Amino acid sequence: MVACGVFRKEIERISEDLGFSFDPVYLDPGLHVDFDELALRLREALESRKNDRIIVVYGACHPRMNDLLRGFKAELIDCQNCIDAFITRREVERIASEGLYFYLTPGWIECWREIFRRLGWGMEEARLEMGCFKGAIFIDTLGNADEYEQDLLEFMDFTLLQYRIIPGKLDHFRSLISDAAKRLEVLYG
């Protein structure tokens, strides 16, 4: 398994329920802001596992993601981004009917400062860039949102986005990984 580090805690939480063993390689969260760096790091990780069947736990974070996986026994989970991995497209669309929201997960709230740094965003730039959002939604994938309260308050102060918390279940995420594993089994035995 090669995964974005934003998924680390959720993967660790469901690892025993997947029904197969794996030794994950986690890449730094936020690589999606630099396509060249993401391509380089992903290819390096895939090369390090080139003899294995590899589940790639990323969304469509690079415009040529499928091309990057060619030549490897690799299957990408079926989601557009890390939010779609935790809530269904239908739920995203339902929330979108209320307005445009910026989504956070435990992994995102832990690395947003580094991602903003990669983007070159200080407080002023973040507030300008994120001014179109109605607010932020924290998807509580681990059931421990109270442990992230201070981080959420700091994110709100930095961006001026009020936040709300919605429960998250890992069933959808688990099924995406299991489906990729099944596709690998069909393709490569």
Helices (H) and strands (E) in the chain, counts: 8, 7
Structure tokens at 25: 């390689």
The per-residue pLDDT for range 78-116, each reduced to its tens digit, is 999 988 899 988 898 999 999 999 999 999 999 999 999
What does the domain layout of the chain look like in residue ranges?
2-81+170-188, 89-167
Amino acid in position 142:
L
Q: How confident is the model over 125-144, as pLDDT tens digits?
A: 999 999 999 999 999 999 99
Q: Give the rounded percent of residues in the chain with a pLDDT score beyond 90.
A: 92
The structure tokens listed for 40 are 């380089």
In the predicted structure, residue 169 carries a pLDDT above the cut 90 = no
Give the angle 132-134-138 at the CA atoms, nearest 5°: 115
pTM given for the model: 0.93
Distance CA 145, CA 161 (A): 17
d(CA 29, CA 48) in angstroms, rounded, equals 19
